A and B are shown apart, each in its own frame.
Chain A
């Protein structure tokens, strides 16, 4: 009995160390330059987010590099989804949400006077946790964005095809473009949502746990897809899956939540932000190390 347990725990240790080596290899192979991104799309300066009187996130400073994949990781309630929603002003839709500090997007204050959140969202697209195709045909799902944003492509059919190809979905749906999007599988629905986001030719694509509702095969497809999309777009992804962050991202931001003094409300904060290989192989902060090695969270 006792011997069996030791055996299991040895196996576990071995697997754990193998996993860490693998993550480190993958991260090293990416070869992202150290230090700050060469060209920043977003510069966040001391960002705080409140929901009513509740402080959800405090003091975030980071820069998001152009044509890079930036991953936000951390335990539930650490404010990573809150932060990604600040980047295209989706938080404006939540009553009582308030953003303090400065979010600079290509030199413009995203929350400055006269900035129209609708215009912001045309340039900064978003893919959500749960696939949310419109209950319309596949074609109409992709064409909706270009139509409402007043794009006048030479041929809408071509734009739809190109977007579906970009999302690696074209071959699976080219014969059933008129079919209702809800008839697709979960993974296909999520790739349709990516095609939909790509169709309006955004600058940035935000992804809020895009694979958490998908099986491993679909997840793998979407990860491959992100690797390709990175050439044309800047991608920010929130993920619960550390291997995913290690596999696909160039930089990783680790967040955690700490109880505020007195109230007991848990406020999120940025612990560490660095190149992904550094975060996973030589984290500077003990909390990061505990999290990425699976001892916490």
Chain B
């Protein structure tokens, strides 16, 4: 009895290939290599992109960064700057956030905490997820039809911000709902058991606990919106513009529009300017994502 127990543990049984065939070991290795290649493809693509942009634009940007940021556009590539586009993008982003954050969070609160479980709610929920996948150019058509034409806002700051807000809304709703759902039920029950009303429970406990996740989602949605070209192009926001907006009804430009315009020009100097503007846009996006990551790491509650 003891002999056979010892036999089961004989070292030869533990050697490579003792029970597994060579093929299974090969398949095992092949898959981990394949998965690593899959990961590296994305990283290489990003690295190539950043390298190309910096290679083309760094010299142009650094030649006179102040002038590049503060000049308006020009037909002379050497004197062209991104002032109107940069300020326009900033205005668009702030306004978009003001429109879509309260509406998105409100919709998420309603769907998670108040909506009755019925077919209408299910239909709305399914379609919000669908809307998150609609191409941005379609939102441009919506903005053109409703905001620019029907509401007579024209190609204005307000029309652009509303269009981007409608586009970002589904992503924000989905993110906020997930954050609200992640708040443990014990928190709600604890508040109710103290005599809090439903609204007090949601407003003072659930919402603050869900805020880090909601903010992270909102910032990521906004950083997608700030890089969008198609919807702004469709509603007809101008590229060549020599003033900053003083009013919601004034026209504005945006960085992606300017980059799109400059890359389609024949002069190589404009291609360099486009690359330089892309560096600025990338820096903005990375800064926003960094804020999102900071919020997530700093404020996320570990229950």
Contact = CB atoms under 8 A, between A and B. Distances in A.
B115 to A, nearest CB: 12
Nearest to A206: B193
A68 to B, nearest CB: 21
B302 to A, nearest CB: 7
Contacts of A135: 187, 208-209, 301, 303
B22 interface: no
Contacts of A182: 301-303
B194 interface: yes
Interface string B262-303: 000000000000000000000000000000000000000111
Contact of B195 (A119, A128, A136, A193): A119
A259 B54 CA distance: 74
Nearest to A140: B204
Contacts of B189: 90, 93, 126, 128, 132
A179 interface: no
Q: Which 8 A-B pairs have the closest CB atoms?
A: A122-B195, A132-B186, A145-B194, A126-B193, A148-B196, A132-B190, A135-B301, A121-B195
A122 B302 CA distance: 29
A273 B265 CA distance: 89
A153 to B, nearest CB: 15
A244 B186 CA distance: 24
Given A95-B117, A144-B204, A130 B192 contact: no
A115 B81 CA distance: 69
Interface in A162-194: 182, 193
A193 B209 contact: no
Contacts of A193: 190
A149 interface: yes
Interface in B97-120: 117
Contacts of B186: 128, 130, 132
Interface string B39-54: 0000000000000000
Nearest to B190: A132
B197 to A, nearest CB: 5
B184 interface: yes
Nearest to B186: A132
A210 interface: no
A95 B115 CA distance: 13
Given A118-B197, A119-B195, A128-B193, 4 more contacts: A125-B194, A126-B193, A130-B186, A134-B205
Nearest to A180: B301
A144 B302 contact: no
B129 interface: no
A121 B194 contact: yes
A196 interface: yes
B195 A148 contact: yes
A139 B45 CA distance: 51
Contacts of A136: 208
Contacts of A119: 195
Nearest to B209: A135
B192 A93 contact: yes
B204 A148 contact: yes
